[in-house]
Structure 1
């Protein structure tokens, strides 16, 4: 059932105007799954800021320069939205980005994609779904990365640590972008600060790191800095960097 759901989501997403069809086994510097929280704690304004953050970051000339400076001169990107254990969706399928025009087309496709908002937060579900998306990647990456962003701890499904460990065992790196907006989650504050939770329970694998955004307004800048590090394959000092 999960496999059929993933294929159906990929088929629907494939109808969106992505830059061009992939050539089988085309080499890229990194295959990157952007796994984005759309749980109930993310309201409409915050959801807009998240998407705008990714769109702006992906088209930033500094990011394009980092992409073109890689050995392969291109990256593969898939965009996933997730909430509780029952909801993960492939919004934009695997797309190769190697220049400004391809980045602009990708950003336009993301702006046009519909969005849902659901309850609960399953980081474990997001990681497991992203692993399956990576299995279907048509490109040949030198690295595989899942980029998890969110504003809450795992409260649906198995512990995030279990999913993280499965991904790391497959050679996947998980980086984090916690959004520290200091709002209660369903009336309860997280048991530990979100940045510490991401560091201890979410990120893992070779060169894993995270960059924290102080709030949703800070998200775009944090995304840009994080993507440049991921594309360049440079870990942050001590696995952690604050946005700014």
Structure 2
């Protein structure tokens, strides 16, 4: 009886630990495939994101989190109705799970290439993806792009009309010849406490910038402003 009681206690402890661990982060990665992004730049995003997820420090951050799992989804966005889900919700609980996600991202085929930049619609689509997410402590949309909204409604309308109240939106701006993109993302796109912006110096810098961004998002690191590299704000 003593041995049976010990076994029951052990099973209860393990099951309680699993329940308490749960999911710590539901992360949606949204990639810009509007007409301003050419084929070579698309490949730099696609392969850069796969490499960032595969980076040793990002893998470690995902798998060593004591407070629960990371759930990941990936979609592309451009015009009003031009969004494509490439990776549906996947729990990253092992290296094999990450391997499969990396392969899926690296194998993506571009969905659209001749539509404008509709950030409001992209955020609305992200909200619909999050509705099907596992129950997690944090919910984050990671918006990357190289331009400002130029078609349809903007981020403010999306935040008013979609269930994004408890969602943090971070940004990754890819610098190009377009003026005002950093300011637009900082003022219009970022949302939620500790939301932050990472700036990539062109598409060639996308991989390194996304690696840095994923590591920070997964670890929920709060930093001050670093001019020219990362900015953060509460709101």
- 1:233 is aligned to 220
CA contact (8 A) 2:79 2:116 kept: yes
Residue 133 (str. 1) matches residue 134 (str. 2): no
Runs of 4+ in 1 over 4 A off after TM superposition: 165-169
CA distance in 1, matches of 2:172, 2:212: 11
Deviations 1:88-113 (CA, angstroms, capped at 9, x unpaired): 11111011113322211111112223
Alpha-carbon distance between aligned partners in 2 of 1:90 and 1:118, rounded to the nearest angstrom:
18
Residue by residue over 1:197-233, the C-alpha shift from the partner in whole angstroms, topping out at 9 and shown as x without a partner, is 1000100112100101010000000000001111111
Alpha-carbon distance, 1:73 to partner: 4.2
Q: Deviations over 1:121-156 (max 9, x none)?
A: 00101100000100011x221100000000000011
Distance, in Å, in 1 between the alignment partners of 2:88 and 2:163 is 22
TM-score (norm 2): 0.83
Q: Which residue of 2 aligns with 1:185?
A: none
2:199 is the alignment partner of 1:212: yes
CA change 1:229–1:236 in 2 (3 A) is: same
Instruction: Give the match's secondary structure for 1:144.
Output: strand
* Preserved contact between residue 61 and residue 100 of structure 1 (Cα < 8 Å): no
- How has the CA–CA distance of structure 1 residues 125 and 27 changed in structure 2, closer, same or farther, with 3 Å as cutoff? same
Q: State the TM-score, normalized to the length of structure 1.
A: 0.80
In the TM superposition, 1:70-81 aligns within 5 A as 70-81=65-76
Alignment of structure 1 residues 1-244 onto 2, 5 Å: 27-116=22-111, 117-137=113-133, 139-164=134-159, 170-182=165-177, 189-190=178-179, 193-238=180-225, 242=229
Please report how far the alpha carbon of residue 69 of structure 1 lies from its aligned counterpart in structure 2 after TM superposition: 3.0
Residue-by-residue CA offset, 1:35-61 (whole Å, 9 max, x unaligned): 110001101100000011110011111
Give the gaps of 5 or more residues in structure 1: 1-25, 183-188
When the two chains are superposed, the root-mean-square deviation of aligned CA atoms in Å is 2.0
Q: Matches of 2:62 and 2:128 in 1, distance apart?
A: 24
Contact in 2 for aligned 1:122/1:155 (Cα 8 Å):
yes
The separation in 2 between residues aligned to 1:98 and 1:55, in whole angstroms, is 17
Change (3 A) 1:234 1:166: farther
